Amino acid sequence: MNFSVQFRVRGDSFGGHFINGISMAESESVWKCKKVIDDEDKTVYESSDGYKITAYHIRKDDIFECYTVFENNSDKTVTLDMISSFAITDIDADTLHRATSFWSAEGKMLSQKLTELNMERSWSGHGIRVEKFGQIGSMPVRKWFPFVAVENSERNEFIGVQLYIPSSWQIELFRHKEPLTLLGGLADFDYGHWCKEIKPNESFTTPKAVVAVGDSLLKVCDMLVKAQQPDISPVDEDLPVIFNEYCTSWGNPTIENLEKTAKKLQGSGVKYLVMDSGWYKEDGKEWWDTIGDWNVNKSQFPDGLKPVCDMIKSYGLIPGIWFEMENVAPLSQIYNETDHLLSRMGTPLNVAGHRFLDLRDEWCVNYLDEKVIKLLRESGYGYLKIDYNENIGVGCDGAESLGEGLRQYVLASQRYFKRIKEQLPDLVIENCASGGHRLEPSTMELCSQASFSDAHECTSIPIIAANVQRMIKPSQSQIWAVLRAKDDVHRTYYSLISGFLGRLCISGEIFDLPEENWQIALNSIKFYDEIKHIIKNGFTSVIECNVEDYNDPEGYQIVLRKTESEAILIVHTFKNGANPPVEKHLENWKIQKEFGSSLDGDFRGKCYYLRKN
């Protein structure tokens, strides 16, 4: 693999061949560079203008960890308008794979021939072809995951990349006279209003990227996902089941309802009882409009939250709580503390009525210490769900560019995640951003779990859950199984078996379920307990899904996740999807156990626990 670098210093010429305005690659800054070191782990360039650029590509097991260091050895301050975290040249490929992502539709793979993208080399080699995509703002998995793979279909060769960037990012594929070049990193000045001033004798290090090479798309994805190193709390290592009461109370939790839930869950095998939004709202107001002050609602919880935690613990459960600590809503008092909130062009940054704490500000850190960490510690919570429901966009004030302000702000937010764990090391942290909008590797490494999506009850849940397996560890991917009293046994199986594609999270009307359905739920927890080591340690070798429309899915899905000696085969039917071709995936396996419905109808679910013949 041939690694390189792309960057642009302000003042240097943009590239030619009609690239200006599409890409900042191939600029004069690159032309001025001379390669001086080409080692196994790094390539070093020196510029005639006095800069040194080191492109690291460090081999770690079966992946490469890439990042770039720019050192200003000149006698003047320079401004970087663009610099790559990775750049790979001389690629021979014919297909581009990207993972799309919208709210409640995360991870749908888009695979396109380069000819479809009009990416053939021009007849004379003049004119650069560019396919550039990315995300702008503080939700790094909105529209696209920070992932790309290119394929040579004739040779079954794949190169896959994940960016570890929680702010704005970009990936580019371009072709000139040479074969393809693939690069990516922070969104540049043209795309994300990012630039960085580097003073004499100072340096800048980019966020990292991880690169993998394999013989299938699923293999490359598996290598990238397994390269992620999350901070898993010890209590969460064995993938216990969660109950989140949001789809039970819909933002109106009470101590009576929580105790009723805890009694029902006692001895069920569920470990966490998580109280979601609304515990802080003022009487007569909506939970969405009162985020930010974090005062316990005395009507709902007259004695505060410690008695709630003590009660939950008395039933053998770990209590959890929801916060959206980075945003503030219009009916909160802190909404008016504009000196401590993010601004853009001198005015408070407002998105759908919400504003944002500036976590670069020590005042905000101290405020959250008092409101979040103190409450968690004094009440006795063992689980924290951190939600995030709006996007900063292109950036904020406080740095040399809006994009650099955004980058600094998001890194400050991540530092606060780490601060929580430093002070409460046993705490389980769940990453949620309107579901899956922050399922990005550097954020995932700060957490034990993540909400896979906000798809709570729709029939596309198993499809989304399978998609997300390509991007994050299934052992971190919390999947909703919302149980309703009106559901028949087939729908109950369908929902619960979706949870076997990751971390099983139950919600809904568990007190009102028919006894048969509640028994199915209890049995599902026992079955999940038998197979969760495969969820945690396996390799997803098959995702066979013929669905086109997620709102009205037709067909079926088959997912095979395996270790050397065991496997789980998870099958869902959708509309007109009865009797899918399961048998071909059972070859060389012996069925140990089955759980679920017969597959001879629509919207059924079944899981096979398999061992090698």
pLDDT over threshold 80, residue 167: yes
pLDDT at 125: 84
pLDDT at 126: 87
Instruction: Provide Rg for the chain, Cα atoms.
Output: 25
Q: Helices 515-537 and 489-498, interaxial angle, to 10°? A: 20
Percentage above 70 pLDDT, the chain: 100
pLDDT over threshold 80, residue 178: no
Helix (H) or strand (E) holding 526: helix 515-537
Find how far residue 172's CA is from the centre of its chain: 21
241, 479 contact by CB (below 8 A) = no
Task: Give mean pLDDT, residues 208-230.
Answer: 98
CA–CA distance, 60 with 86 (Å, rounded to integer): 16
CA–CA distance, 513 with 509 (Å, rounded to integer): 6
Q: Find where tokens 């099958």 sit.
A: 571
Helix (H) or strand (E) holding 160: strand 157-163
CA–CA distance, 565 with 355 (Å, rounded to integer): 52
pLDDT at 456: 92
How confident is the model over 314-341, as pLDDT tens digits? 999 999 999 999 999 999 999 999 999 9
The DSSP secondary structure of 244-270, one letter per residue, reads: ETHHHHSS---HHHHHHHHHHHTTSSE
Task: Give mean pLDDT, residues 267-292.
Answer: 95
How confident is the model over 58-90, as pLDDT tens digits? 999 999 999 999 999 999 999 999 999 999 999
pLDDT over threshold 90, residue 123: no
pLDDT at 112: 98
How confident is the model over 561-607, as pLDDT tens digits? 999 999 999 999 999 999 999 999 999 999 999 999 999 999 999 99
The whole-model pTM stands at: 0.97
How confident is the model over 524-545, as pLDDT tens digits? 999 999 999 999 999 999 999 9
How confident is the model over 8-64, as pLDDT tens digits? 999 999 998 899 999 999 999 999 999 999 999 999 999 999 999 999 999 999 999
